[in-house]
Amino acid sequence: MPAIVIVGAQWGDEGKGKATDLLGSRVDYVVKPNGGNNAGHTVVVGGEKFELKLLPAGILSPNATPVIGNGVVVSLDALFHEIDGLEARGADTSRLRISANAHLVAPYHQTMDKVTERFLGKRAIGTTGRGIGPAYMDKVGRLGIRVQDIFDESILRQKIEGALRQKNELLVKLYNRRAVAVDEIAEYFLSFAERLRPMVVDSTLLLNDALDRGDVVLMEGGQATYLDVDHGTYPFVTSSNPTAGGASVGAGIGPTRINRSIGIVKAYTTRVGAGPFPTELFDEWGEFLQNTGGEFGVNTGRPRRCGWYDAVMARHASRINGFTDYFLTKLDVLTGIEQIPVCVAYDVDGVRHDEMPMTQTEFHHAKPIVEHFPGWTEDISDARNLDDLPENARNYVLALERMSGTRISGIGVGPGRDEVVTVHDLID
């Protein structure tokens, strides 16, 4: 059986957790390929709400093995805090496996995240402050510490020493902070060793063997296309590749083994943190989407910026990720709006752009060119087939599909596991 990848098509929080949970009972493995505890994925099961940060949402699917892939940066503090929280609520986390090659977030990464944001002043990214960027910087800079290093104390100490040599100079001389001791960090990591050991595996072997046996592997991407360090609104991005290609690298599953690339896209747009956002609303409609959609960050509690659906972004995301399907979420939030605006193209300094502008400057200047679609007033949360939707809701979905470059295979009509309109099966 092939592998499937779930990717956020906008700026995150599209409902990836819900989509993963929906497929969870039909897959054997759920892998998180990128990011760390900067994510916040919500799953609502039987009216009970779970919020996953570092762990893949697939941990709540009793028959799936959850795996933290090599591309993830792991805060051990956050990991065990989350495991303990889930266990206290009766969830079984014993199947969790973690790649020996995944990198670790050290306490000094979190310090660096906070001081660099402060240093940027008005140009701050608005990060989650979890140390994700600095941990990826060390990974690419070849100063990172990996999960496997914890099991060789002498290597661990050597690597910590290497990482701290330059970091302490920065912390003390540039940021006016105290220096960090090698022993302090070594003890911090070693304190988790015993609990961590049984979970650590060669995840690429595990997953590729599973695929060879005919098992289904689902990759649950964190963040989203426009937070991708290559394809997003750089520099207002995260420090990993949350696109479909990045999932292949971050899970160690070759691209030829992936047969479905599913884009999760909201029926409108939200963003947390700084950076350009062409359809952003600053009026009562922005407040309407924020309140009706419950648009407050799972991870940091920050209010999400809100705007209308942006078909230019959806088309571009479709291209970059080779989407085979879109899963459109939160259609129910638009119920009651008389005429629903959709951004179909941009006006950049008087020039119409039907596709994503090439440069950052142009994207910052992009003003949405909007078309309106008639809305509906009926409650749609009980709809399960396209025909159950009011005609205008159906037409809205079909219009988005025409403009977005990929067929819409599922539609979220509420936060619950069952609140879905199925158009095409997402696994075959």
Catalytic residues: 13, 41, 139
**Is position 40 annotated in a ligand binding site?**
yes
Q: Which residues in 275-314 contact Mg ion (CB under 5 A)? A: 298
| Interface pick for Mg ion out of 36, 40, 56, 410 (rule CB under 5 A) | 40
**Is position 47 annotated in a ligand binding site?**
no
Q: Which residues in 106-165 contact ligand IMO (CB under 6 A)? A: 125-128, 130, 132-133
- Give the rounded distance of the alpha carbon of 155 from its chain centre: 32
Q: Are strands 339-348 and 366-374 parallel, antiparallel or unpaired?
A: antiparallel
By CB under 5 A, is residue 13 in contact with Mg ion? yes
Q: Which residues in 356-375 contact ligand IMO (CB under 6 A)? A: none
Cβ-based neighbour number of residue 138 at 10 Å: 26
Provide CB contacts within 8 A for 307, sequence distance 6+: 268, 269, 270, 271, 277, 278, 279, 280, 281, 286, 289
- Whether 304 contacts 295, CB under 8 Å: yes
**Is position 17 annotated in a ligand binding site?**
yes
Answer with the entry of ligand GDP, Mg ion, ligand IMO, none that 249 interacts with (C-beta below 5 to 8 A by kind): none
Beta bridge partners of 420: 412
Residues in contact with ligand GDP, total (CB under 6 A)? Answer: 22
By CB under 6 A, is residue 329 in contact with ligand GDP? yes
Closest approach, Cβ 351 to ligand GDP, in A, equals 33
By CB under 6 A, is residue 238 in contact with ligand IMO? yes
By CB under 6 A, is residue 222 in contact with ligand IMO? yes
Provide CB contacts within 8 A for 272, sequence distance 6+: 11, 12, 13, 126, 297, 300, 302, 304, 305
By CB under 6 A, is residue 53 in contact with ligand GDP? no
Task: Write the CA distances from 278 to 269, 307, 317, 327, 341, integer angstroms.
Answer: 10, 8, 15, 22, 13
- Tell me the C-alpha distance between 236 and 265, whole Å: 19
Which DSSP category does 35 fall into? B
Answer with the entry of Mg ion, ligand IMO, ligand GDP, none that 125 interacts with (C-beta below 5 to 8 A by kind): ligand IMO
By CB under 5 A, is residue 56 in contact with Mg ion? no
CB neighbour class for 202 (10 Å; exposed up to 12, middle 13-18, buried from 19):
middle
Q: Residues in the site for ligand IMO, rule: CB under 6 A?
A: 8, 12-13, 38-41, 125-128, 130, 132-133, 222-224, 227, 238-239, 272-273
Residues annotated in the binding site, as ranges?
12-18, 38-42, 128, 142, 223, 238, 298-304, 330-332, 412-414
Q: Residues in the site for ligand GDP, rule: CB under 6 A?
A: 8, 12-18, 40-42, 44, 294, 298, 329-330, 332-333, 412-415
